[in-house]
Amino acid sequence: MKKFWIITLALALSTGIGSVVNSQTTFVSNPTAPAATQAPLQYTTVNALDVVANPARFLKRNIRIIGKFDKFSTLGLDYPPAKRSSEDYISFLIQRPDVTNHNIPLSELKIFLKKDVAEKNIDLDAGDKVEFTGRIFSTALGDAWMDVDDFKVLTPKAPKKEENALE
């Protein structure tokens, strides 16, 4: 009788393992099948202060932020837990949206831009309105670390009127 149960158990296990193996192989895509068209990424417009208040909530989410450019920086580059190489990336800061009478950078949001994109926008000034989309890839140090997919200058800051003292 004991032998009967051992054989039954062995058959059940071999059948179960075979089912698992077969079910796993059905998820492998056929390399000769035509590629499925991918839908464009969807981005949710968010407030930068919400992202820095709760970075874990936005981790691995596609987001869009509109803000005022502050400056290009090296902040966060080459930091091992959230590494973005200074050879390939530059970071930039936006101004805190909750402060309007001073230019204060929102340094809790680490934003990484490919250097070739940054070079095309080298003439940006503090206060220029920008829109960028991307993904929060880390919450190291309790901060939000974001890779930028797309970067746009919406409106340059209004130029200051120069007063000519020689008039």
Q: What are the domain boundaries of the chain?
A: 44-155
- To the question of pTM greater than 0.75 for the whole model, the response is no
The vertex-107 CA angle with 51 and 53, nearest 5°, equals 25
User: Do 77 and 93 meet the contact criterion of CB atoms below 8 Å apart?
Assistant: no
CA atoms of 82 and 72, how far apart (whole Å) = 18
List Cβ neighbours of 24 (8 Å cut-off, separation of 6 or more): none
Return the CATH fold of 44-155: OB fold (Dihydrolipoamide Acetyltransferase, E2P) (2.40.50)
- For the chain, residues with pLDDT lower than 70 are 1-37, 157-167
- What are the pLDDT digits (tens) for 58-102? 999 999 999 999 999 999 999 998 899 999 999 999 999 999 888
For residue 7, which phi and psi values (nearest 5 degrees)? -65, -45
How many alpha carbons lie under 13 Å from residue 140 in its C-beta half-sphere?
Answer: 14
